[in-house]
Amino acid sequence: MLVFGVIGIIFVITQGALVWSLIRYRAKGNEITEPPQIYGSNPIELAWTVIPILIVFILFLVTTRTIYSLDMQEPPEGALRVKVTGHQWWWEFEYPDLDFVTAGELHVPKGVPVFLDLRSADVIHSFWVPRLSGKTDCIPNRENHLWFQADEIGTWYGQCAEFCGTQHAKMLIRVISEEESEFEAWVANQKLDAPQVPTPLNGKEMFLSLACVNCHNVNGIMMQGGFAPNLTHLMSRDTIASGAAENTPENLKKWLRDPNSIKDECRMPNMMLTETQIDSLVEFLTTLK
């Protein structure tokens, strides 16, 4: 508001002088005379040099102080802490105080400050949810910080804001703010191991027999992966592939059949699965709620 006020005053003065000059010195009729030529005025030139320098200096000091106050290195009191890791091309969210890891969607309670520890697993990414905060880079071997507070219930959309490869445009972010009670219920479910639901097509056994377990973790079933999103509660998410597609059985089948059909040149390989294997895997994945 201070910057807006200062530039507003400058605008009024300069444009007012321009309009006044156009009216006061406009040509009348066909009479055109050359105005008097004035060459140089030290006081005027000094004024229009010194005054802008002083204005810019004051705005610089105010802006620097504001940025410094916002650039917290420690969480605000009562903040929810989340470790955010950018991968090519998806987001991992770890809640260290709540002891669970998820991916794709960041759930937060309404009205509570959220403090993010930002890092990258590969190249430079940038975390940006425009309606909640400014953008902050996620840099390999470095930890940056960002905090925000969602004062309304809703879903806030963002994405990686630093070009990071072929699927940069589909490295989306979804921040879901909800009432405290709903958030606590979501947390309670996320902390549980994957449900053990018998499936006619033996989906769990199919999952364990394939290379899926080398990349994905499923709490309570297999924990030797970690390179790809945690699937423990996959069906509690609205989207797959970091927001690239709606999370439905049909899209899961499409993803397993050929990941490049949804996210070209993504890190998930095409495992050349048969339709029988795909049906069995989707049967298992849809139990992970």
- For residues 186 and 85, membership in a common domain is answered with yes
Looking from the CA of 55 toward its CB, the CA atoms found within 13 Å total 15
* Domain with 173 in it: 80-190
The C-alpha atoms of residue 18 and residue 224 are separated, in whole angstroms, by 71
The C-alpha atoms of residue 283 and residue 37 are separated, in whole angstroms, by 86
Report how many domains make up the chain: 2
- For residues 153 and 120, membership in a common domain is answered with yes
- For residues 112 and 165, membership in a common domain is answered with yes
- For residues 153 and 209, membership in a common domain is answered with no
In a domain, 266, yes or no: yes
Instruction: Tell me the pTM.
Output: 0.76
> pLDDT (tens digit, 0 to 9) for every residue of the chain, 289 residues total?
888 999 999 999 999 999 999 998 887 777 777 777 777 788 888 998 999 999 999 999 999 888 877 766 677 788 999 999 999 999 999 999 999 999 989 999 999 999 999 999 999 999 999 999 989 999 999 999 999 999 999 999 999 999 999 999 999 999 999 999 999 999 999 999 988 888 888 888 998 889 888 889 999 887 777 789 999 999 999 999 999 999 999 999 999 999 999 998 888 889 899 999 999 999 999 999 9
Q: Starting at the earlier edge strand, list the strands of the sheet with 154-159.
A: 105-109, 172-178, 154-159
- For residues 182 and 252, membership in a common domain is answered with no
Residue ranges of alpha helices (H) inside the chain are 2-24, 42-70, 180-190, 203-209, 249-257, 275-285
The dihedral region occupied by 255, where left means phi > 0, alpha psi between -120 and 50, and beta the remainder, is alpha
> Which residues on neighbouring strands pair with residue 240, listed in sequence order?
245
- For residues 162 and 99, membership in a common domain is answered with yes
In a domain, 1, yes or no: no
Residue ranges of alpha helices (H) inside 26-179 are 42-70
In a domain, 142, yes or no: yes
Cβ distance 288 to 231 under 8 Å? yes
